[in-house]
Structure 1
Amino acid sequence: MSPAGPDAHPDAHPDPLLFRTRPGNRRRLTPAAQAEVDRLAAAGEQSAWLSPLAYNLTISHSHRFVWYRVAKVATRTIRHHCETHGVSMDVDHAMRIRYPLASFADYFTFAFVRDPLDRFVSAWHDKVVDHNYYDFDTATHERMQRVEEFARWAAGQDLSAVPGTDQHLTLQSRMIDLNRVDFVGRLETFDRDFGEVCERIGAPAVPTAPKNQTAPGGRDRQVSQELRELVARMYARDYQLFGYPPPA
């Protein structure tokens, strides 16, 4: 495939060590890294040098991994483990980043997912019941204290749109580059699966429970049939791809 820009070159892949987020701003790339991404993008959409879609990424050059972060799925736990065990996060908390594919072709890539119903209820508790994250007016926020009301509102969003949909509600399958991910762990078997990730990246595997998790199988699974049906429709692709049984 021919490069589309006059200055493009088939081997013009950036040094992966250039790809970092800014000190003091863990969400944004450094100017040099952003300039390189912009240069590759300008070279032509057909070059296949950048991922076609944008993802929320954490990248370590020292431990050679790319982590596709899925909000509400042990992100604080994984990040805390890295921080406390000397795992550098050169791209710390980048949001909606198209990344240079060839530069990370030999990095280990992973993600974690969870039952979509548990994830949705967890997002509702955190972002609606405990906070007014979506900035609803007073009357609407009061109405959204019923999870079914919030689910009806969420069902009106395009949950595959990134950017566009809030990361806490986006389809998990959209938050992961499914064509390039090496390992997808589950929150329900977190100790075992994260232990495997730690072994692959050369980090200590210390048993740990996910932080700030809405417990699966507890009171939050005692939900109405309406909620089950709404979540099953909204997250049908996640249920299908990740093998979770749809809520019945």
Structure 2
Amino acid sequence: MSSPDPQVFRTRPGNRRRLTPPGEAELDRLAAAGEASGWLSPLAYNLTVSHSHRFVWYRVAKVATRSIRHHCETHGVTLDVDHAMRVRYPLASYDDYFTFAFVRDPLDRFVSAWHDKVVDHNYYDFDAATHARMQSVEEFARWTATHDLAAVPGTDQHLTLQSRMIDLNRVDFVGRLETFGRDFAEVCVRIGAPSEPSAPQNQTAPGGRDRQASDELRALVARMYRRDYQVFGYPVPGESA
């Protein structure tokens, strides 16, 4: 079976989360060939792909996704697969594409998700009494700890392990939110896009809101996101360097 043309994969005009019918049909064809074929990535990811600039971006929610997408739109970088969700992709077709992702300190990311999705909105549709309890970040962390944060699908993307949202066997470059200007400039050089000094939009500053995090919160986050701390090398809350 021939390797599919990477450009068959595009998202639909007016629906940036779903692939076009030809793209979906091609993924179905590859899946039907059997798991042993190795044509598709074993796991599904949230992907953005540009064929003109030949990159695959593994999107990690709450890590500068708006900033990166805005930069691409502003500088004429076409996003052929714009905001695809939980997609297995044909590995061989993207062998020569540059692949990248961005991560951040798990405690900062968790607090940012809580502020955005619980304090500022009721994204998880809690009933009134539960939503009132969830105004405590520790309460929200206890609720989050009842979920399998490596399950995709199954866990909300804003809470999923960052290490699960990136194909660690394929990624060429992993930048950090804490050094976003420098790291994103390197990405721009690699994909052939204009680079400008910038800071991520809508960012909870590292060490800002969560600087006064309780010992309970630090312990909960350290336990829930242990794999992220191990993979990306961030200092584990409550542990000495």
TM-score, structure 1 normalization: 0.95
Instruction: Report the counterpart of residue 77 of structure 1 in structure 2.
Output: 67
- Code of the aligned partner of 1:78: I
> Could you tell me how far apart the structure 2 residues matched to 1:233 and 1:91 are?
34
Deviations along 1:166-195, one digit per CA (max 9) or x if unpaired, are: 000000000000000000000000000000
Counterpart pick for 2:112 among 102, 122, 135: 122
Q: Would you say the 8 A contact 2:60–2:102 is kept in 1?
A: yes
Counterpart pick for 2:170 among 162, 174, 180: 180
Q: Would you say the 8 A contact 1:118–1:221 is kept in 2?
A: no
Q: Percent identity?
A: 84
Counterpart pick for 1:131 among 121, 140, 156: 121
> Could you tell me how far apart the structure 2 residues matched to 1:67 and 1:151 are?
28
* SS of structure 2 residue aligned to 1:58: strand
Instruction: Report the counterpart of residue 200 of structure 1 in structure 2.
Output: 190
Instruction: Report the counterpart of residue 14 of structure 1 in structure 2.
Output: 4
User: Aligned Cα RMSD in Å?
Assistant: 0.5
Alignment of 1:58 onto 2:48: yes
Instruction: Report the counterpart of residue 95 of structure 2 in structure 1.
Output: 105
- Code of the aligned partner of 1:119: R
- Code of the aligned partner of 1:183: F
> Could you tell me how far apart the structure 1 residues matched to 2:14 and 2:149 are?
30
> Could you tell me how far apart the structure 1 residues matched to 2:29 and 2:172 are?
28
Q: How does 1:138-149 map to 2 (within 5 A)?
A: 138-149=128-139
Q: Would you say the 8 A contact 1:74–1:213 is kept in 2?
A: yes
Q: How far did residue 160 of structure 1 move?
A: 0.1
Q: Would you say the 8 A contact 2:111–2:209 is kept in 1?
A: no
Counterpart pick for 2:144 among 138, 154, 164: 154
Instruction: Report the counterpart of residue 96 of structure 1 in structure 2.
Output: 86
Deviations along 1:2-37, one digit per CA (max 9) or x if unpaired, are: xxxxxxx2xx21101101000100000000000000
Q: How far did residue 219 of structure 1 move?
A: 3.2
> Could you tell me how far apart the structure 2 residues matched to 1:26 and 1:206 are?
26
Q: Would you say the 8 A contact 2:19–2:84 is kept in 1?
A: yes
Counterpart pick for 2:15 among 25, 46, 66: 25
> Could you tell me how far apart the structure 2 residues matched to 1:123 and 1:165 are?
13
Alignment of 1:44 onto 2:4: no
Deviations along 1:211-248, one digit per CA (max 9) or x if unpaired, are: 11111122322110000000000000000000000011
Q: Would you say the 8 A contact 1:29–1:94 is kept in 2?
A: yes
TM-score, structure 2 normalization: 0.98
* SS of structure 2 residue aligned to 1:221: coil
- Code of the aligned partner of 1:47: S
Alignment of 1:227 onto 2:201: no
> Could you tell me how far apart the structure 2 residues matched to 1:217 and 1:45 are?
44
- Code of the aligned partner of 2:20: T
> Could you tell me how far apart the structure 1 residues matched to 2:152 and 2:176 are?
22
- Code of the aligned partner of 1:133: Y
Instruction: Report the counterpart of residue 209 of structure 1 in structure 2.
Output: 199
Q: How far did residue 163 of structure 1 move?
A: 0.3
- Code of the aligned partner of 1:207: P
Q: Would you say the 8 A contact 2:107–2:210 is kept in 1?
A: no
